[in-house]
Amino acid sequence: MKLSTNNFVAKWRSHIDWTGVILFALSFVACFIGFYLRYRNNFQFPNFFAEDGTIFTKNLLDHGFLSSLATTFNGYYVWGLYVINKIALILNAIVYHGTFATIPKAIAITSYAFLAFCATVPILVFRRYIKLPFLIVLTALLVLVPMPGNSYAIIGALGSLKFAFVYLAFLLLVLRLRQKRTSRWIPVIDLGIVLCAYTTSTTYLLLPIILWQDGLRPKDWLTRNWRQYIQGNIALWSTLVLGLVLLGQVWIIATQGLPKLPGYLDQPLNYHRLVEIFAGRSYLYGFTQLFYHALRDWSAVLLLGILCLLASLKAARTNRQLYWFAFYSVGITTLLLITNRTGISAFFTGYDGRGPIDQFFYGQNLIFDVAFIALLATLVDSFTKKRWHQLAAAGVLLLLTVAPLLSTTSFRQSSPIQPGIQPLPQMLNQACALYDDPVAITVYPVSSFIMIEPRSLACQGRRY
């Protein structure tokens, strides 16, 4: 038994890409610092941001983790947000002794860490397919994804992180497609897909790509030897289980429906802005800051068409599945968005990149940044194998795409979200001195967001 265990551990270790793990760890630390520097106020001036306190944290504190997972938000589950929030509460208990006033600070740390994970996970997924210099450029693009309108609602906050789960679902599905039908990694990957699907329903629209999986392609169904096809086909069995598990979210939405939010981005759709919304903001915005303000509808479509042409070249065939899946994922995500939030079109006034809409598009930008860098890296690799040529190409790409991002408003000296609302520690010092029970807490970004908690929790805190 001991020998068998040792063999299992040795085999497990042999399958780990330790160089990739070390590179991932170093990049994660760098990206964590990068996101902290982008918007540090949620840590330095800690307070809950809107639903982060009034809904998510309150549910966890009042009802517990499992009950919170069974609670819907705007008609669907948001498991990923509750998992991140629970990690923040555990961190708060370990580092800050469970004090209620420090929960927003723990949420900020966890938010930075989650975004850093999103920026560095391509290193694990694509290290064997994209050369290191281009992975460095990609990581820089992802950590500097432009959010000039309202980075304060994303970086260091919780609620808007749900939009990143579409990007994670995209990466997991790409990783799944690269597995053989007998791979034992497929069920593990599917667990991540379940978490993404139970956080944002857009994930369901990405799932048809699974039919390109080895062992699931329609042509495989025509086999006459069904016994051989079924035996050992982990991809098939895991897909069947995945489909059954995902029916839960479908059932909730089908039976309960999605609630209407009157007055929230429900203005008529401005059809004249569709090209800017799709071609500009959804596809190109993440890496064209050098000249984005000079784009017009015709030039945005032309540039996107050039990228489609490049993706069709024989030299780009290595990752072609990735490119087209990225085109589809970004397009369907934005289509679902503007179908339900038609009023978003009012914020588009001609390629100026303004407006408090960053949370709705940064997921698409992350996805297409991956496809864009993968495409250029593949083309460069097909034309030259010389390392210094590839380093030079990556360096030029870094200057043209990453450097301009440093000048956007998202990275300049930031100020508190709402000067009229105090950070939570100062607010609690005053409220608890009045012996109020329960304690009413005003949270960011506007005074209409109120969180009510019993004095025993708000003024003393507890361990989780």
Q: Following CA atoms 373, 374, 377, 380 in sequence, which dihedral angle do they give, to the nearest 10 degrees?
A: -110
- Which amino acid, 118? C
Using one digit for the tens of pLDDT, what is the confidence trace for 29-68? Answer: 999 999 999 988 899 889 999 898 889 999 999 999 999 9
Contact in structure between 412 and 420 (CB atoms under 8 Å): no
Strand-strand pairing, 450-453 and 76-77:
unpaired
Q: Within this chain, do residues 453 and 412 fall inside the same structural domain, yes or no?
A: yes
SS3 assignment, position 210: helix
Q: How many percent of the chain have pLDDT more than 90?
A: 54
C-alpha gyration radius of the chain: 23
Q: Which secondary-structure segment (H or E) carries 244? A: helix 234-256
* Residue 261 domain flag: no
Query: Residues near 180 by Cβ (< 8 Å), separated by ≥ 6?
Result: 214, 215, 235
Q: Within this chain, do residues 355 and 395 fall inside the same structural domain, yes or no?
A: no
Q: Out of 106-110, 123-127, 297-301, pick the least confident.
A: 123-127
Q: Give whichever of 51-60, 85-94, 214-223, 442-451 has the largest mean pLDDT.
A: 85-94
* Residue 411 domain flag: yes
Put simply, whether the predicted model's pTM sits higher than 0.75 gets the answer yes
Q: Which secondary-structure segment (H or E) carries 170? A: helix 164-177
Q: What is the pLDDT of residue 414?
A: 58
- pLDDT class of 268 with cuts at 50, 70, 90: very high
Q: Residue 93 is part of which domain span?
A: 17-157+385-464
Q: Out of 158-162, 186-190, 216-220, 339-343, pick the least confident.
A: 216-220
Cα–Cα distance measured from residue 45 to residue 37, given in angstroms and rounded to the nearest whole number: 14
- pLDDT class of 464 with cuts at 50, 70, 90: very low
Q: Within this chain, do residues 327 and 436 fall inside the same structural domain, yes or no?
A: no
Q: Which residue has the higher pLDDT, 128 or 292?
A: 292
| pLDDT of 15 over the 80 cut | no
Summarize the confidence of residues 108-119 as an average pLDDT: 97
DSSP state of 416: -
Q: What is the pLDDT of residue 224?
A: 61
Q: What tokens were used for 246? A: 């995902």
| pLDDT of 308 over the 70 cut | yes
| pLDDT of 161 over the 60 cut | yes
444 alpha-carbon distance from chain centroid = 22
What is the pLDDT of the chain when averaged over all its residues? Answer: 88
Q: Within this chain, do residues 389 and 373 fall inside the same structural domain, yes or no?
A: no
Cα–Cα distance measured from residue 206 to residue 71, given in angstroms and rounded to the nearest whole number: 24
Could you say which of 365, 383, 401 is where a domain stops? 383
Using one digit for the tens of pLDDT, what is the confidence trace for 184-209? Answer: 999 999 999 999 999 999 999 999 99
Cis peptide before 262 (omega within 30 of 0): no
* Residue 61 domain flag: yes
Summarize the confidence of residues 375-380 as an average pLDDT: 92
Cα–Cα distance measured from residue 109 to residue 32, given in angstroms and rounded to the nearest whole number: 9
Q: Within this chain, do residues 334 and 370 fall inside the same structural domain, yes or no?
A: yes
Q: What is the pLDDT of residue 230?
A: 79
* Residue 214 domain flag: no
| pLDDT of 335 over the 70 cut | yes
Could you say which of 325, 353, 383 is where a domain stops? 383
- pLDDT class of 170 with cuts at 50, 70, 90: very high
Could you say which of 383, 418, 435 is where a domain stops? 383
Q: Within this chain, do residues 401 and 428 fall inside the same structural domain, yes or no?
A: yes
| pLDDT of 6 over the 70 cut | no
* Residue 390 domain flag: yes
Q: Within this chain, do residues 132 and 77 fall inside the same structural domain, yes or no?
A: yes
| pLDDT of 280 over the 90 cut | yes
Q: Which residue has the higher pLDDT, 220 or 24?
A: 24
Summarize the confidence of residues 286-302 as an average pLDDT: 94
* Residue 142 domain flag: yes
Place of tokens 């509750």: 82
Cα–Cα distance measured from residue 143 to residue 398, given in angstroms and rounded to the nearest whole number: 13
Q: Structural domain tally of the chain?
A: 2
Cα–Cα distance measured from residue 72 to residue 191, given in angstroms and rounded to the nearest whole number: 20
* Residue 314 domain flag: yes
Q: Within this chain, do residues 435 and 329 fall inside the same structural domain, yes or no?
A: no
Q: Within this chain, do residues 408 and 460 fall inside the same structural domain, yes or no?
A: yes
Q: Which secondary-structure segment (H or E) carries 297? A: helix 297-312
Q: What is the pLDDT of residue 7?
A: 59
Q: Within this chain, do residues 23 and 153 fall inside the same structural domain, yes or no?
A: yes
| pLDDT of 3 over the 60 cut | no
Q: Within this chain, do residues 353 and 315 fall inside the same structural domain, yes or no?
A: yes
Q: Within this chain, do residues 454 and 323 fall inside the same structural domain, yes or no?
A: no
* Residue 336 domain flag: yes
Cα–Cα distance measured from residue 5 to residue 7, given in angstroms and rounded to the nearest whole number: 5
Cα–Cα distance measured from residue 152 to residue 147, given in angstroms and rounded to the nearest whole number: 9
Q: Which secondary-structure segment (H or E) carries 77? A: strand 76-77
Summarize the confidence of residues 265-291 as an average pLDDT: 93
C-beta neighbour count of 343 within 10 angstroms: 15
Place of tokens 């990957």: 189
- pLDDT class of 291 with cuts at 50, 70, 90: very high
Q: What is the pLDDT of residue 352?
A: 84
Cα–Cα distance measured from residue 31 to residue 319, given in angstroms and rounded to the nearest whole number: 26
Q: What SS3 string covers 304-361?
A: HHHHHHHHHCHHHHHHHHHHHHHHHHHHHHHHHHHHHCHHHHHHCCCCCCCCCCHHHC
Q: What is the pLDDT of residue 97?
A: 87
